[in-house]
Amino acid sequence: MSVQRLDPPGLPAVPGLISQLVVTTGRRLVHLSGQVARDGRGNPTGGDHAAQAAVIARTIDLALTAVGASRDDIVKEVIYVVDYTLDVLPAVLDALREGTRTAPASTLVPVTALFAPGYLIEVDVTAAVHQLPCP
């Protein structure tokens, strides 16, 4: 069972932030629904992109822990961002990568809106795990 993270020659390398290719063998894939920054009542929380990304990272941690995984097991992510500008990118990726040792294949999609007002970011991830815990 392995995960290879590659940045082949000719493709731009962004070490620590994204991997251009991620190849998995002998693992189970876990697909997590898009995560947003919500408080306990389901309302948006975090006033800016960085704060919302930090909340989302903690939410992803909780979800992946339930299947014996961590953000280091994420092999692909899609990040949807409202009000995107170039200075938003480091704030979002820094929050999502904090405490990790690996970077997934990643796509960022600027959008005009998410499903409800107040949400600035939604993150959709796929993780590769050795085996799922028994229920």
pTM of the complete model beyond 0.85? yes
In this prediction, residue 26 carries a pLDDT of: 83
Residue-wise pLDDT tens digits, 117-135: 999 999 999 999 987 665 5
Quote the CA–CA distance of 71 and 62 in Å, as a whole number.
10
- Residue 77: the pLDDT is 97
CATH of the domain at 89: 3.30.1330.40
Quote the CA–CA distance of 98 and 57 in Å, as a whole number. Answer: 9
- Residue 123 domain boundaries: 2-129
Number of structural domains in the chain: 1
- Specify if 50 maps to a domain: yes
In a domain, 135, yes or no: no
**134 lies in a domain?**
no
Residue 28 lies in a domain: yes
